[in-house]
Chain A
Amino acid sequence: MRSALILATALGLALPALANDVGLVKVAKGNVEIQRGSDRIPAKVGTGLRASDVIVTGADGSAGVTFTDNSLVSVGPNSVFAIDKYSFDSTTHVGEFEGNLKQGRLAAVSGKMVKQSPESMKIRTPSAIMGVRGTEFLVQVDEPGK
Chain B
Amino acid sequence: MKDFAEPLARLIDELKRLPGIGQKSAQRIAFHLERSSREDAERLSAAILDAKDKIKFCSQCNNFTEVDPCRYCTDPGRSQEVICVVETPYNVVNVEKTREFNGRYHVLHGALSPLQGIGPEQLRLKNLFERLKGGQVKEIIVATNPNVEGEATAIYLSKLIKPLGIRVTRIAMGIPVGSELEFADEVTMLKALEGRREI
Q: Do A and B come from one complex?
A: no
Name B's A-contacting residues (CB within 8 A).
none
Name A's B-contacting residues (CB within 8 A).
none
